[in-house]
Structure 1
């Protein structure tokens, strides 16, 4: 009996020791794996390395896991897709799941299928609200319209934590909650013009250290632009659509001759160096691909650069990470890495660095740690931190076909356009239900619809309406931007932009009033009268302006002069020149 007890105790001690050894071994593995996971997923030098460990269940997709690298920081790690097709399918699935955070439906308004009862209920609720408050005439609508859902903690400039609300699909009974007091108005295009002029006279943005050779080259270019000669008719530019065509031409010429860009090699895929060439956010992907493959502007020696490109995809950042706080922390670590390895960031505080991002989240997640950078953003909302004169607007270009971006667009002559105005789209945001409420089935020359069928016939009808209309309504969705502006330009339909606080693309150089119409959100009830009040001669001038500006919104696999790639880069170059001043 005593022998059995001793044997049992011996076994218990052996088992405990064995478990301790196993525990220590597992702890070592976890620490080692955690270190390399963070290292390669955030700043991996290899394009093919992507590590994940499943301490918790997957977030939403196969291969996506969440781990806690420290007490307060959440790091998401994603397995690289096996093929471009897999990556695209994964993106579509994730966009479908988090569609409430997405701004637009697609190139065609019918690509997001919505249950009919949601649309009908939304309109009914708007009517009930109007009746309840006896709202008549020119109703003032809010310029900011996001319904808050779950809060995301964000560190503000002082280091204290505030709560930022995440956009979500607005429920029908809340769609009209954005009717605001008539005294509150959005920023008009005239006010934006004033802000642009004021930005040219803002405080000095010269480097913190003594001026370098590159800064002197920029100052020299700035002086040359001020002395630009009047353009000749053979310039290839249509003068009326520019604020100052002579200065633009001279600035563009100097950009081609002098501008040098350094692209940071840090950052692993899929967030860095992996452009997405199709879909709603394709603009950031096309620019990344064309910039990284460019031999005219890109230099390998950062000492020769005037500008520094931070090559991350806000779309892939959103797909890979789960929320605003995680994305913001991720970019903070990236900036710390860049500032630690190079002195260029610290020399100017990031003022000569730039980013190009199209996802709705981009303006929020870059507002702190990248606030000094020149930000090229699709979501260019002056009410949410977009700085006119420093930041620049990235056009939303929904790409269905990389080979034929103009597929389906066929501009008709003005005499062949029998429809006054056209809009069709899903009920994204607070504004569109109000547009539908006022103008659906009200006038025969106002073709204002909700979602159209997604089949081939629906697509054909959509394109036919756009190609046959004088004016195409570009109403904001969840956010201020919309791909309909570029669609309208492609179909030679004059854009009617209804989005308070929205800064249109290339605002620094293009005179948007020469080829588009701006209508305040509060003026939707007067929309038809506003359009009918435009003289025929003025409409013909607007139509011609749309045709002439089209070349500046086209992507090419091999960039050509004055195309979209060059226009984006020029806006960044232009804003850097406007900021830098001699000491």
Structure 2
């Protein structure tokens, strides 16, 4: 009898012990401790994450992406990249992908191994005028994406009321991406193509609080661009090899001309805001010239908030630094705060910012610091930036726009000294001259200053009237070296094009201007910083035939990098605006 009682007591203790353990497990599961799904780990059948489709799960496991501050990138280490090939076929504007067996390949034009080989063939690169102009490019791929929800309400139809002490800027969720990974030390041009293609397919801007007529117009424009008619061969205004897809660009540009409306905010005190005259010369001139043309424009600018597709924040990053930075302080906090206060002002007066979280707003800034200064309060905006560093500066491909840094010497005549010698009269193989900014230029001079008569590599040249010495070298050199300074950008890229010299870009992680539109591999050379000791061999490996093609294309692309006193079709003003428009169109959310 006593043994039976003891057995019953022990059984009860065991039951209580099991109940306590189970209760602890349930408690862990309820409060979602950071050690995973405790309950499900006890069973053999795991749970499928509801946010990923079967296809996305498979893709994620293959690519192992990670996140880094809204920058999205494929793990390209698992991608097979075919060698540079020539395009077959004659259909201008039709994109074709190379089959895995490489069946479309034909013998490539000679090019150095260090040049980035594109991974797809774009038949838009077939020239209507010369048999030499067969080239490769990497067209964009656009696809479905997740739709992040922006669901903070506003308090009125046009101008939201702001409670005392409350920030008028609505806290919005970060733009979500499907696959992300950390950016590596060096992002090659081929990697950038992959990032852009992926971001087009997986990232969207903030979903609007309310649908609007302009949202539907943007969606209609996107559909028309994606189904753009093949470019007519009689169209001589655009040279197909220069573009990722000339037909898409042509259609997108036409739509921009026909429907785009931009609202320019009146708020902001001069000279930081609304005073372009302060920055019409020098290396930061792009932001001044754009502001000047945008504010004077009668075609794109609207005073009706309801019909605007884009909203311009008209400030100068150069003037911001000149007026507010305390020399020697080492702190830019007051500059950042000044822009934050400006956004607070805009958000407090207008519903337009809060409707989209600022994703249909844009800024144009060329100072090196602008990337960092705008990263917090203006990161949701489309940022046209000269400092387009996709590695460390949080430049976001597919949203942000690489702004061409242009050195304007004469605001009265920005086209002064345009052009250069024909190829037969370019006796110098490569030229560079400049101050020893950053860590790349000293290495360039260490290996090439006074080392080879074909390589004219100098420190800053002595001053001469009108800077003739520097300009003459650019006009008479085959290749112009565009080595980064403190940051990835350099005005030499546009200077080289201006003087019809093939640019050689030595700047890891630099996103070249209008990257989403132009096929840069067709007219420029990209050399990694580590390959500077081998620079001459890289250039000599480019055949004379290939050089002639590239130099011809530099002359053709020149129209996109010129400032005019009055804007003209396809010039740099319109190209900047188009890239902003284009990125906005391809990030718009479907209306639910």
Question: TM-score w.r.t. structure 1 length?
Answer: 0.67
After the TM superposition, which residues 123-134 of structure 1 pair with which residues of structure 2 at under 5 Å, given as runs?
none
Distance across 2 between alignment mates of 1:237 and 1:474: 26
Relative to 1, partners in 2 of residues 1:203 and 1:393: Cα closer, same or farther, differing over 3 Å? closer
SS in 2 for 1:375: strand
State the alpha-carbon separation in 2 of the partners of residues 296 and 496 from structure 1: 37
Question: Which residues of 2 match residues 251-262 of structure 1 at below 5 A?
Answer: 251-262=252-263
Deviates more, 1:440-449 or 1:399-408: 399-408
Per-residue deviation, residues 345-366 of structure 1 (Å, max 9, x unmatched)? 1111100000000111100010
Is structure 2 residue 334 aligned with structure 1 residue 326?
A: yes
2:381 counterpart residue number: 373
Determine whether 1:197 maps to 2:200: no
Aligned to 2:94: none
Give, in angstroms, the shift of residue 537 of structure 1: 1.6
**Matching of residues 310-325 of structure 1 within 5 Å:** 310-322=313-325, 323-325=331-333
Q: Determine the structure 1 residue equivalent to 2:32.
A: none
Helix, strand or coil for the counterpart of 2:397?
Answer: coil
CA distance in 2, matches of 1:520, 1:581: 37
Aligned residue in 2 for 1:230 = 230
Equivalent position to 1:292, from 280, 290, 295 = 295
Equivalent residue for 1:525? 533
2:47 is aligned to: none
Instruction: Tell me, in whole angstroms, the C-alpha distance in 1 between the residues paired with 2:305 and 2:250.
Output: 27
- In structure 2, list runs of 5 or more residues that go unmatched: 1-113, 115-170, 172-182, 326-330
Contact 1:339-1:346 within 8 A present in 2 as well: yes
- Could you tell me how far 1:186 is from its partner in structure 2? 1.6
SS in 2 for 1:405: coil
Aligned to 1:431: 440
- Give how far 1:496 is off: 0.2
SS at match of 2:586: helix
CA distance in 2 between partners of 1:417 and 1:400 (Å) = 24
* Structure 2 residue aligned with 1:210: 210
For 1:429-468, list aligned pairs within 5 A: 429-456=438-465, 459-468=467-476
CA contact (8 A) 1:281 1:358 kept: yes
Q: CA deviation at 1:415?
A: 1.4
Give the SS at the match of 2:497: helix
Counterpart in 2 of 1:105?
A: none
Q: What do the CA deviations read for 1:261-308 (whole angstroms, capped 9, x no partner)? A: 001100110111001211221110110010011011000011110000
Q: How large is the RMSD of aligned CA atoms in angstroms?
A: 1.6
Q: 1:264 to 1:412 in 2, by over 3 A?
A: same
SS in 2 for 1:422: strand
- Is the 2:415–2:563 contact (alpha carbons within 8 Å) kept by the matching residues of 1? no
Contact in 1 for aligned 2:335/2:373 (Cα 8 Å): yes
Q: Counterpart of 2:574? A: 566
The equivalent of 1:109 in structure 2 is none
Residues 283 and 395, structure 1, Cα contact 8 Å, conserved in 2: yes
1:99-110 counterparts in 2 under 5 A? none
For residues 404 and 485 of structure 1, the distance between their equivalents in structure 2, rounded to whole angstroms, comes to 20
CA distance in 1, matches of 2:518, 2:335: 33
Residue 246 of structure 1, CA deviation? 0.3
SS in 1 for 2:368: coil
Q: How big is the shift at 1:184? A: 7.2
- Deviations 1:444-493 (CA, angstroms, capped at 9, x unpaired): 11111111101339x32222211111100000011111111111001110
The CA deviation at 1:519 is: 0.2
SS in 2 for 1:233: coil
Does the 8 Å contact 2:207/2:589 carry over to 1? no
Question: Which residue of 397, 402, 414 corresponds with 1:393?
Answer: 402
Asked whether the 8 Å contact 2:414–2:564 carries over to 1, the reply is: no
Deviation readout 1:214-252 (Å, 9 max, x if unpaired) = 000000011011111111233300110000000000000
| CA distance in structure 2 between the partners assigned to 1:454 and 1:504 by the alignment | 29
Report 1:58-77 matches (<5 A): none
Moved beyond 3 Å, runs of 4+: none
1:240 alignment partner in structure 2: 241
Give 1:322-361 correspondences, 5 Å limit: 322=325, 323-361=331-369
Q: Which residue of 1 aligns with 2:187?
A: 187
Gaps of 5+ in 1: 1-137, 139-158, 160-182
Is the counterpart of residue 306 in structure 1 residue 309 in structure 2?
Answer: yes
Q: 1:283 aligns with which of 283, 286, 290?
A: 286
> What is the deviation of 1:211?
2.0
Q: 1:205 to 1:185 in 2, by over 3 A?
A: closer
- Pick which of 445-454 and 410-419 moved more: 410-419
- Partner residue, 2:556: 548
Partner of 1:496: 504
- Which residue is equivalent to 1:52? none
SS of 1:447's equivalent in the other structure is strand
Q: How far 1:581 moved relative to its partner?
A: 2.8
| Alpha-carbon distance between aligned partners in 2 of 1:281 and 1:287, rounded to the nearest angstrom | 11
Distance 1:562 1:409 in 2: 17
**1:278 is paired with a residue of what secondary structure?**
coil
Q: CA offset at residue 418 of structure 1?
A: 1.4
Q: Distance in 2 between matches of 1:254 and 1:473?
A: 37
User: CA contact under 8 A between 2:249 and 2:517: conserved in structure 1?
Assistant: yes
1:364 paired with 2:365, answer: no
Q: CA deviation at 1:206?
A: 5.1
Which structure is higher in RCO with an 8 Å CA cutoff and minimum separation 6? Answer: 1
Deviations 1:160-192 (A, max 9, x none): xxxxxxxxxxxxxxxxxxxxxxx9742111111
Cα offset for 1:409? 4.0
Partners of 1:362 and 1:261 lie apart in 2 by 22
Q: Over residues 374-422 of structure 1, what are the superposed CA-to-partner deviations in whole Å (9 max), with x where a residue is unaligned?
A: 0000111112100010000111111111232232344111111111101
Asked if structure 1 preserves the Cα contact closer than 8 Å seen for 2:414 and 2:565, the reply is no
Residue aligned with 1:448, SS? strand
Q: Hey, what does 1:49 align to over in structure 2?
A: none
- After superposition, what is the alpha-carbon deviation per residue over 1:493-546, rounded to whole angstroms, capped at 9, x for unaligned? 000000011101000100001110000000001101100011122111110110
In 1: Cα distance, 2:455 partner to 2:321 partner? 38
TM-fit CA distance, 1:338? 0.7
Report Cα offsets for 1:534-562 as digits up to 9, x if no partner: 11221111101100000001111211100
Residue 94 of structure 1 is matched in structure 2 by none
For 1:522 and 1:185, locate their aligned partners in 2 and report how far apart those are by CA, in whole Å.
12
Helix, strand or coil for the counterpart of 2:202? coil
